[in-house]
Structure formats: structure tokens, C-alpha cells
Amino acid sequence: MQSYFKNKWLPYLLLSPTLIILLIFLFYPAFETFLLSLYKVAPYGNRKIFVGLYNFKQMFRDSDYIYSFVLSLIFSVVVVAAGLSISLLIALLLNQKIKGARVYRSLLIWPYALSPAISGAIFRFLFNPSNGYMGYFTQVLFGIYPKWLTNGNLAFIVMIIAATWKNLGYNIIFYLAGLQNVQKEALESASIDGAGATKRFFAITFPLLSPTTFFLLVMNVIYAYFASFGLIDVLTEGGPANATTILIYRLYRDFFINSRVGYAAAESFILFLLVVGITVLQFKTTGKKVYYQ
């Protein structure tokens, strides 16, 4: 049965609180940021010179910015792919009828309750190149003592591991809820027909989880690009030698440390457009493959 509004203005009235909040806290700041990006601003903001698209041109000529752009792309792809895959596997295990399942679920959700700064501090303690536990274990087991946070490639790997771990609890909650809504009758019928566990998962369970997966895909991309700042700031501070300086951290440095206000505004606007573009692309492509029961 299709429902409809008799009053054509009622839908807009119901949506107005959300639209007002979006207008004040999203669209207006984005518009002001774009205007600021057209100016070259003195360090203390007491003088502005209109330069048009100069900041955008300089940004895409800057090899350090291009490096951060590519680094952010690699970081987001790995964090999203690893986070969704691992959390789905854990959710499948937690969905089994095992003793103490509630305790395990509570413990696995805890990492999400930690702030990004606390998560960064935990991993900095574990991977400290001087006296971290992970260095001690690798030395005992393999006879090597990697300089986890002073080697660029290793620091980037540690950052990916920390960011993935931090968001696992969030993903597990939604996947677990989705798994508990999968029709048991369909799984039982497939089992009677001789379908194995793997075939049942890919033919029935995973397609029914597509709305959850699509939602988590969008949220994890936003997390990778925006919400990982606190973790990176405490864990690596963008180093060594900018090896972990993704776009959101470069934006922070240019604005608060280097006082490049107009340039940072241009970076912020491009980052906003990038995430919006990725989200729209996901709706245009992956969204069409979502199966709703």
C-alpha cells in the first residue's frame, strides 16, 4: 500500500528541522569556507587579499599535498576494506550459540567507546620504538626489533591497524544486528537442499546484509577521512617525514601551525567535495546492488 501526503507542504514542514540544522551547520560553513579559500589571509586574520583560485592552483602544484591525497586514498581503502571484512567475520562468530556470547559482544564493542586520542595513546604505548611491547615480542619471537614509529612504512601500517581496530566495535554492532534479522527459514531450506556453510553465506546471508554493508561502507569512508585525526595526532603526529600525514592532518597543520588560512580553507573545501563525491558515487554504483527485504 502506497502512502501519500494530502497536504503538499506537510513533507517540507516535517523535514524543516533537519534542513535548518544542515543549512546552519553544514552548507553555510561550507559556503563560508569556499569564500575564505579565495583570499590570502594574514597570519592573524587582520588582512585579506582576494586571489581568486590561486590557493587551489598552488595546492595541486604542491607535491606534498598530492602525496597526502594519495596517502589518504590508500589509507581509506585499506581501513574500510579491512574493517568491514574483519568485523563481519567477528559478527558471524558472535552470532553463533556459544557460552558467554554476551560477554564477548560487550568486550568487542568497547574499543568504539574509547576516544580516538586514547586509542592513539594505547597504540603508541604498544609500538613505542624504544620500549614498546610489540617490539619486545618481535625480538623474542623473531630476533628483530622494528622501529615501528620511526620508519615511515611501518608507522603507516601501525596507523592503519589502529584506525581499523578503533572502528571495529561500531561495525560489529550493525553486522550483528543484521545477522540476527536474517531469515532462519531460508538458511534451513538451503541446508536441506545440500548447500554448505560457504554457499549459504554468499547466496543468502551476504545479500541480505547488503543494506547494512552499504551503510557501513559510507560511514567508514567518512570515518577514514575525517574521524581519524585524533588518533593520528597522538600516535604519529603525521610523521616520520610526513609518512602518516593524510589530508585531515595536513589541513590541521596548515591552518593551526603554519597559519595558511586561505590555503587551508581550500584544502578543507576540496576534502569536503571529495568525500561528498565518493558518497554520491557509492550511491550511484554500490547502492544499486543493495537488496532490501
Task: Give the strand pairing for 39-41 and 48-50.
Answer: antiparallel
Task: Identify the pLDDT of residue 56.
Answer: 93
User: What value does the mean pLDDT take over residues 16-32?
Assistant: 90
Residues 92-108, mean pLDDT to the nearest whole number: 80
pLDDT at 290: 65
Q: pLDDT band for position 85 (50/70/90)? A: very high
Task: Please write the tens of the pLDDT for every residue from 151-180.
Answer: 999 999 999 999 999 999 999 999 988 888
pLDDT recorded at residue 40: 87
Q: What is the pLDDT of residues 200-210, one digit of tens each?
A: 888 888 888 88
Q: For residue 292, what pLDDT is reported?
A: 58
More confident residue, 198 or 269: 269
Span 84-102, average pLDDT: 86
Ordered by start, the domain boundaries in the chain are 62-289
pLDDT-based confidence at residue 293 (cuts at 50, 70, 90)? low
Poorest-pLDDT segment among 9-13, 91-95, 164-168, 234-238: 9-13
| pLDDT of 136 | 83
Q: What is the pLDDT of residue 24?
A: 92
Tens digit of each residue's pLDDT (9 = 90 or more) over 223-244: 999 888 999 999 999 988 899 9
Report d(CA 220, CA 83) in Å as an integer: 8
Q: What is the pLDDT of residue 247?
A: 93
Identify the band that residue 248 occupies on the pLDDT scale cut at 50, 70 and 90. very high
278 has pLDDT over 70: yes
**For residue 240, cis peptide bond before it (omega within 30 degrees of 0):** yes
Is residue 45 scored above 80 in pLDDT?
no
Q: Are 147 and 154 in contact (CB under 8 A)?
A: yes
- Average pLDDT over the chain reads 86
Percent of the chain with pLDDT over 90: 40
* Phi, psi dihedrals of residue 46, rounded to the nearest 5°: -90, 0
CATH topology assigned to domain 62-289: MetI-like fold (1.10.3720)
